[in-house]
Structure 1
Amino acid sequence: MNNTNNRKGRLKSPKYRILIGADLREFRQKSGYSLSDVSDMTGIPINTVIEMEQGVTINIDYYFEFAKAVSYPFRTLHSLKIPLKPAYELSQEKKARTFLTRKIRKIINNEGFLGEGKTVDEIIDELVRLNLIEREKTSSKEVSGVMRNLIEDNTVEVKAKIKRKNIYVRFDG
């Protein structure tokens, strides 16, 4: 079974929730607030406040409401030294696609680049011209895949199709 679909495995208290909960508890106590005070200020039941302090509660919104209620400085979260890495690494193929997506977004955000529309080949030509990619290391299939993702993100849309080639323009919404 894929780890991302394993609900029971996902819901176990990871270290960061335990750290944040303990930090919120310490801050609450130093500030003189009781569990009841936090409950009154947030509308969150006392038992849930206790579970947050233990790192059991999984709803991040509760932690933010708690933090706002006791004036906990959000930047303090950085001091917990929570590693900023995903639970699951992307494959090399997906990392390469992400890198290519950033490059394509860069030229798409250039006002007027897509203008009346560009084909995948024209997008590749522009990426090569700007020295953002090497032509021999990037296939039209890879660029087409990125463009499909950008369509899903409402960044671009297909204006027309000429001889089986999509003509991409900025999404007009």
Structure 2
Amino acid sequence: MRKYFDENSAKQIGERIRMHRKQHGYSLEDISAMTGFSVNTLSSIENGGDTYISYCIAICQALELAPAELFNIELELKPRFELPPDRRNRALTTLRVSQLFDSGFFATPKLVVSVLEEFALTYGIQPESSEVSTALKKLTNDGKLEFTKEGRRNLYVRKKR
């Protein structure tokens, strides 16, 4: 995969850096002396060149500028690529299992089939049992749930602290 570069955002950030530098009356040489970056590097950043976030942080420190202010730029808030339906469903299933956990649903032991039934009642959907099992395993690995065996099936319950 080739390297990603958002030219529009880089230009906005560079313009903000230049504006704040000039407001402080600093030259590129002054910022160079405060950051240790070359004048060419700083000029490139101000002109919208690609850079590292750590460089921006050092420049913010030199300008006494909060990073939040530097990065408060116009940005289209959507992913570069759409999440494939299977990944979106899996992420949503994990989120909803976590919400059931937070609601106290696992105060008593539950089988996967019980979780599926709760999904149908609460969310009006029927995810794949393998997706639910994966989400339950994640909560178990995170130390939030524990399970016991009932024959070949797992019973999940909130882990006692």
Considering the TM-score relative to the shorter chain, is it more than 0.5? yes
Distance 1:51 1:151 in 2: 49
Distance 1:60 1:12, change over 3 A: same
Aligned amino acid, residue 134 of structure 1? G
| Contact 2:5-2:50 at 8 Å conserved across structures | no
Which residue in the other structure is 2:55 paired with? 62
Cα offset for 1:121?
2.2
Cα offset for 1:95?
2.0
User: What is the aligned residue count?
Assistant: 160
Q: Work out whether 1:143 is the aligned partner of 2:132.
A: yes
Structure 2 residues without counterparts, runs of 5 or longer: none
RMSD over equivalenced CA pairs, Å:
3.2
Distance 1:170 1:53 in 2: 53
Cα offset for 1:117?
4.8
Aligned amino acid, residue 113 of structure 2? D
Q: Work out whether 1:27 is the aligned partner of 2:20.
A: yes
Structure 1 residues without counterparts, runs of 5 or longer: 1-5
* Structure 1 length-normalised TM: 0.69
* Structure 2 length-normalised TM: 0.73
Cα deviation digits, residues 56-82 of structure 1 (max 9, x gap): 33322221332233133424633x211
Which residue in the other structure is 2:147 paired with? 159
Aligned amino acid, residue 40 of structure 1? A
Query: Is the partner of 2:106 in helix, strand or coil?
Result: coil
Structure with max Cα Rg: 2
Query: Is the partner of 1:159 in helix, strand or coil?
Result: strand
Cα offset for 1:31?
2.1
Name the structure, 1 or 2, with higher relative contact order (CA <8 Å, separation 6+): 2
Query: Is the partner of 1:142 in helix, strand or coil?
Result: helix
Cα deviation digits, residues 130-150 of structure 1 (max 9, x gap): x2x225x32312212333455
Distance 1:61 1:141, change over 3 A: same
Identical positions, percent: 27
Distance 1:44 1:67 in 2: 13
Distance 1:150 1:87, change over 3 A: farther
Distance 1:123 1:30, change over 3 A: same
| Contact 2:16-2:70 at 8 Å conserved across structures | no
Cα offset for 1:83?
1.0
Cα offset for 1:90?
0.4
Distance 2:53 2:24 in 1: 22
| Contact 1:39-1:45 at 8 Å conserved across structures | yes
Give the one of 119, 126, 138 matched to 2:111.
119
Which residue in the other structure is 1:92 paired with? 85
Query: Is the partner of 1:85 in helix, strand or coil?
Result: coil
| Contact 2:108-2:158 at 8 Å conserved across structures | no
Distance 2:47 2:153 in 1: 56
